[in-house]
Amino acid sequence: MRIRVLAAFQVLVFLMGGLLMPTAGKAVEIRAGQSWLEQGDYLLHPGVQLTAATKDNKSLRFEFSGRTFGRFTQSTSILSLNLPYEVLPWKEVYTTYGFSLMDEYTGYNSPRDDDESIHAMNAGLNLGIGYKIFDHGGFNARLEWNSHIFAAGLAFIFMTTARKTVFSATVGYEL
């Protein structure tokens, strides 16, 4: 399974290299902001989002959420390539689709035995919709909703999928 995830990651990096390379007609925009991840439990977990995007809404996003409770540490990292899909007539509202890679980490700090941890890697698809609230002088602000669908751990769990929904509020600057 690790080989498949690594191969998927290499393909994603290759695609990102070609799609996000700035040219004379493409400016690069960097965004950062607050995100909230819903992980199938209907609870919103706070996180952060970093994005590199081209002027035509092709973007690479990194989302992270983590928490520690008692002896447990849990974190979710999602790297996604997002491509524009124009279905709405308004230029401030945009839709995207793409590919996602996720790493879910769970660790246990044992008081007596060895500590235990597990990384669950997964590849999937995503759909998103965003609204550009403000855009002036190279600065902008956005609200986004991105849904990621993953095969359940690629571990052959029957009739289930893993999903992550990310709500984000970001500010950015065009370089």
- How far is residue 147 from each of residues 104, 118, 124, measured CA to CA in Å? 16, 24, 10
> Domain extents for the chain?
2-17+27-174
What pLDDT sits at residue 70? 87
What would the pLDDT profile of 28-48 be if each residue is shown by its tens digit? Answer: 999 999 999 987 777 888 999
What would the pLDDT profile of 90-146 be if each residue is shown by its tens digit? Answer: 889 999 999 999 888 888 887 888 878 788 888 899 999 999 999 999 899 999 999
What pLDDT sits at residue 13? 54
**Of all residues in the chain, what percent are helix, strand and coil, respectively (each to 5)?**
10, 65, 25
Query: Would you give the end-to-end CA distance of the chain in angstroms?
Result: 39
Q: Quick one: fold of 2-17+27-174?
A: Porin (2.40.160)
What pLDDT sits at residue 134? 93
What pLDDT sits at residue 4? 52
Question: Tell me, what DSSP letter sits at residue 16?
Answer: H
